Amino acid sequence: MKIGSTDIIDTFAEAFSMQYTRLIVTAHDQHWLDAAVREFTGFSSSVIACDLEMGIESWLSPEETPDGRPGAAVLAFGFSKDALAKAVPNRVGQCVMTCPSTSLFDGLPDANARIPVGKHIRYFGDGYQKSKQIAGRRYWRIPVMDGEFLVEDKTGVSAGVGGGNLILQATDQIAALDAAKRAVTAIQDVPGAITPFPGGVARSGSKVGSRYPGLKASTSDPYCPTLKGKVESQLVDGANCVLEVVIDGVSEQAVAAATRAGVLAAAGDNVLAVGAGNYGGKLGKFHFHLRPLLAADAAC
């Protein structure tokens, strides 16, 4: 199967179950919103070493936010509810409360499972914090130097999917970078999906395990161009640069839609092949087969 000159490898991306929460961050204007979200979603590329995988699901207009200000819906993924309960309040306290003019709201108010956020952060108010319940939802007003930080008491948690991926093989770095940017831009338009790595892209794709004891993951040597001839390479002929786009989503459907959008956008001149990473179906229960996802659009 090809899209133009790009070969779509007959393979699948293997993903696994995660827990996620959706957080609505608002601020006085886009400048301060950008500052808060950049800080909030930093150091969040992979739960191999980070406490959470995070990204912006969508930017929100004032008409779409609880307080009528510019906002962003941020998705945070962890392996468990407990992991979210530990990491989310820390990040909110350090990255959102510290940013001038911000507020934070629950983006999953109908979820059955919940974790504390403002309930923990309120203690920063040193006894001067105040709570208010509106329509069954509790908020905390924490005094800070520019006024008050408004934060919701708890936020919802639900089951999601992590680890979807695309592996792009190109003739050179410029072509690979352009293809990756196209893929990430297309995925940004898919509701419920994020690409948590820098700019949505990982150049250091990994495999499970290492020859060094204690390391959970190490470089994906079959895709390293400098190791051709030294390892069992999975590079197609002419490929000199490989980039990976990792996808997390609120559902299997969201990751499937993001995968499809990413492949269609990435294909192009000097992009020799689009594939995906898997572990033979042994790691995750979610399998996203590229060719069936594209069958309606690609010329075989």
pLDDT tens by residue, the chain, 300 residues: 999 999 999 999 999 999 999 999 999 999 999 999 999 999 999 999 999 999 999 999 999 999 999 999 999 999 999 999 999 999 999 999 999 999 999 999 999 999 999 999 999 999 999 999 999 999 999 999 999 999 999 999 999 999 999 999 999 999 999 999 999 999 999 999 999 999 999 999 998 889 999 898 999 999 999 999 999 999 999 999 999 999 999 999 999 999 999 999 999 999 999 999 998 887 789 999 999 999 855 443
Give Cβ neighbours of residue 91 (< 8 Å, ≥ 6 apart). 40, 51, 52, 76
Distance between terminal CA atoms of the chain? Answer: 4
Cα–Cα distance, 36 to 44 (Å, whole number): 14
- Looking at the chain, the domain(s) classified CATH 3.30.70.520 span 2-15+160-294, 19-158
- The three-class DSSP label of residue 45 is coil
Beta strands at 241-249 and 2-3: parallel, antiparallel or unpaired: unpaired
Amino acid code (one letter) for 229: G
Cα–Cα distance, 261 to 103 (Å, whole number): 33
Cα–Cα distance, 25 to 99 (Å, whole number): 11
- The CATH architecture one would assign to domain 2-15+160-294 is 2-Layer Sandwich (3.30)
Q: By the 8 A CB rule, do 121 and 97 touch?
A: yes
Cα–Cα distance, 133 to 182 (Å, whole number): 44
Q: Which CATH class is domain 19-158?
A: alpha beta
Side-chain half-sphere CA neighbours of 299 within 13 A: 5
